């Protein structure tokens, strides 16, 4: 098992030094799920604030670009691509976020941030209809590039 890289030998938090790592193409895909009742799903198109799914897509993209400002020890990355897709299911909305870069560190946190903020945006835009909406299943689905190579979540 690997060691935690965000701590020095004395246990103090630190930003990882990636200056010696090669720049490589890296991608990540993350997902989240917003659980909501069918009655709430049926009213998505009537939302007076606008289309919650499109606004969530834009919010997720914007959030990915601000990840280093939100997560204290993340490196700011030159993102070459970010996308957020939503799919309405019987019991809620499935969100998939992807991010890509050519950098010295990965984009997992950017993809996870995009999926999470998209889910929070959907909640914000629909909470007037139901406060019991739940956000769950936020997870990394896959990543490519870098020293650790490829990762794919089982069953994905």
**What's the half-sphere exposure (Cβ side, CA atoms, 13 Å) at 135?**
17
Question: Which pLDDT band holds residue 1 (cuts at 50, 70, 90)?
Answer: very low
Percent of the chain with pLDDT over 90: 74
What residue spans define the domains of the chain?
A: 24-144
Residues 127 and 81: their CA atoms lie apart, in Å, by 30
What pTM value is reported for the model?
A: 0.91
Any idea how long the chain is?
156
pLDDT band at 46 (very low <50, low <70, confident <90, very high): confident
Where are any strands of DSSP class E within the chain?
Answer: 24-35, 79-89, 92-103, 134-144, 151-152
Catalytic center residues: 124
Does 46 or 118 have the greater pLDDT score?
118
Distances (CA, A) of 48 to 51, 89, 139: 8, 22, 31
Whether the predicted pLDDT of 155 surpasses 50: yes
In CATH terms, 24-144 corresponds, of 1.10.260.40, 3.40.50.970, 3.40.1830.10, 3.30.70.640, to 3.30.70.640
């Amino acid at each position: 098992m690997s060691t935690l890289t965000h701590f020095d030998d004395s246990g103090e938090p630190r930003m990882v030094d990636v200056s010696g790592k090669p720049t490589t193409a890296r991608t990540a895909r993350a997902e989240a799920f917003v659980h909501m009742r069918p009655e709430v799903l049926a009213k998505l198109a009537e939302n007076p604030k606008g289309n919650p799914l499109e606004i969530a897509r834009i919010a997720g993209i914007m959030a990915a670009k601000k990840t280093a400002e939100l997560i204290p020890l993340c490196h700011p990355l030159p993102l070459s691509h970010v996308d957020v897709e939503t799919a309405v299911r019987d019991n809620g909305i499935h969100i998939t976020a992807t991010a890509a870069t050519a950098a010295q560190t990965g984009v997992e946190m950017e993809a996870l941030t995009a999926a999470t903020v998209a889910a929070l945006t959907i909640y914000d835009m629909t909470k007037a209809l139901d406060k019991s909406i739940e956000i769950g299943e936020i997870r990394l689905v896959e990543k490519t590039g870098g020293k650790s190579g490829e990762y794919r979540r089982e069953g994905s």
